[in-house]
Structure 1
């Protein structure tokens, strides 16, 4: 049994002056309390209680020990209460790192509502395409695409990276529309210049790298979208970045009977965090919030 439980037994016996009353209060057998008190005295090497058939009293050592024991147990109970309150009302600084496109399109619009729900959580956000070191940079959650390279990290899937090929109606009116994937080499294509997304693949039994027309490249998903909406060409872009524009007719999806990706495989976006048995309440609250509010 832990020392703190023995202290709880000891304090209760001192305050009730009775092992039998303490057993009822603590809902344990009197013999168990007697054994733990004896073990505590043996551990300390001194007698704490003078016991007779009629009464229990403190020795001089027991009096001194009780001054500390009651304070220790009281502070532990207060610490438990603080932690329980923290679970109900997360607080502290939550440090997030996320890719620019997914962060701007999907995560940032969710932050104000999260802040209203958890006003005691302060949020620091870095939008970047670089792979951050969660330990060295003190990051609670990183949001990025790709495979999990480090076994000390845990990933929570947030959304599929379903890529679509699209363009503006005006661009298509002027330049025509590709009928087959191989036709893309005859059109102005807007590439995303991030090193993992430069190529365009047709996903089938065996992924096929497509030849695409020269045009321009940009290192931002939102930059791609702005170029698309201003009739600059055709782009391979995540569906989550242009879902509203496609629904409103501002952009048109092309070759939608095919599946495309900037990788040789399909991919998803994940929340990455350190492998810990007990997550901080602020981190758990944000992960649960993302899972409930990001459309799959």
Structure 2
């Protein structure tokens, strides 16, 4: 058991690239952590880490050992938790990185149900457009929308959200109802800064239209809000505007036409997930599927 504990400490040091940060994470003194890693190296008979005043780097042997240790440590933690699930519901702090607009306009209204279902889970949500480092930062999962860059991370597709055009009834009353995609060029279109061409599909038919207007913005939430304030037509995921449609603040424009759906992924550093993370991913997939 002591060997497994030392392997777990070694994994934390490599992830943090710092004894000090790793010591804070695991809650042991920096000196104790350093001594345990030195003892591990002596037991193995090989240097695992290059230590400098500024950072820590893996040796060739350390890289091989880290890849094996990480899998072993994850398996051991998962085994403990799976046994614990026989006695209790998932618990602990769930740390999630989320796109700002997706979290505030869609997920916030769903969290009450999840928190009631799993009262042992506490939450830390980081709402940010940046792509957090799931290896070096203490996140359990990151929710990402759109195409994902190639990486060694594990991505699970949760859903593909249909996207349509929406405007307020008042805007359409003042500006007229578009009869076809070409008519959008005469309207105020709420676009991303580099999104002035919209591609729309109707069955096998596809058209591109110049989407012009006074407003360029990089926030889905702001687009939704401005469309509801009679300022133009927005291209939005159906899940994002469900409440606006229900309350009559928005309605669909050119209902037979739609844009390419946008993918929603759950991204993790490993396939071996604790129960709290598994339940959250399953819950979110369930919500998006029934939307």
TM-score range, shorter chain: 0.5 to 0.7
> 1 CA distance for matches of 2:275 and 2:182?
51
The corresponding residue for 2:268 is 273
> 2 CA distance for matches of 1:139 and 1:198?
35
Shift of the alpha carbon at 1:199? 4.2
> 1 CA distance for matches of 2:196 and 2:98?
19
Taking the TM superposition and a 5 Å limit, the aligned residue runs for 1:26-175 are 84-86=83-85, 88-175=88-175
Residue 198 and residue 134 in structure 1: after superposition, are their counterparts in 2 closer, same or farther (change >3 A)? Answer: farther
> 2 CA distance for matches of 1:199 and 1:140?
37
Aligned residues: 211
Q: Which moved more, 1:207-216 or 1:229-238?
A: 207-216
Larger radius of gyration: 1
Residue 222 and residue 267 in structure 1: after superposition, are their counterparts in 2 closer, same or farther (change >3 A)? Answer: closer
Compute the TM-score of the two structures, normalised by the length of structure 2: 0.64
String of CA shifts for 1:229-286, please: whole Å, max 9, x gaps.
111111111111112322333212111111224xxxx33211111232x311211121
String of CA shifts for 1:158-195, please: whole Å, max 9, x gaps.
232211111111111111111111111111111134x6
Taking the TM superposition and a 5 Å limit, the aligned residue runs for 1:5-24 are none
- For the pair 1:287 / 2:285, whether they are aligned, the reply is no
Gapped regions of structure 2 (runs ≥ 5): 1-77
CA RMSD of aligned residues (A): 2.5
Compute the TM-score of the two structures, normalised by the length of structure 1: 0.63
Residue 200 of structure 1 is aligned with which of 193, 198, 204?
198
Is the CA contact 1:187–1:233 (under 8 Å) kept in the aligned structure 2?
A: yes
Residue 143 and residue 185 in structure 1: after superposition, are their counterparts in 2 closer, same or farther (change >3 A)? Answer: same
Residue 248 and residue 86 in structure 1: after superposition, are their counterparts in 2 closer, same or farther (change >3 A)? Answer: same
Residue 286 and residue 180 in structure 1: after superposition, are their counterparts in 2 closer, same or farther (change >3 A)? Answer: same
The corresponding residue for 1:185 is 185
Q: Secondary structure at the match of 1:272?
A: strand
Is the CA contact 1:105–1:240 (under 8 Å) kept in the aligned structure 2?
A: no
Taking the TM superposition and a 5 Å limit, the aligned residue runs for 1:172-251 are 172-193=172-193, 199-203=197-201, 205=204, 208-251=207-250
> 1 CA distance for matches of 2:147 and 2:250?
30
Q: Secondary structure at the match of 2:281?
A: helix
Residue 120 and residue 153 in structure 1: after superposition, are their counterparts in 2 closer, same or farther (change >3 A)? Answer: same
Q: Secondary structure at the match of 1:156?
A: strand
Residue 199 and residue 122 in structure 1: after superposition, are their counterparts in 2 closer, same or farther (change >3 A)? Answer: farther
Gapped regions of structure 1 (runs ≥ 5): 1-78
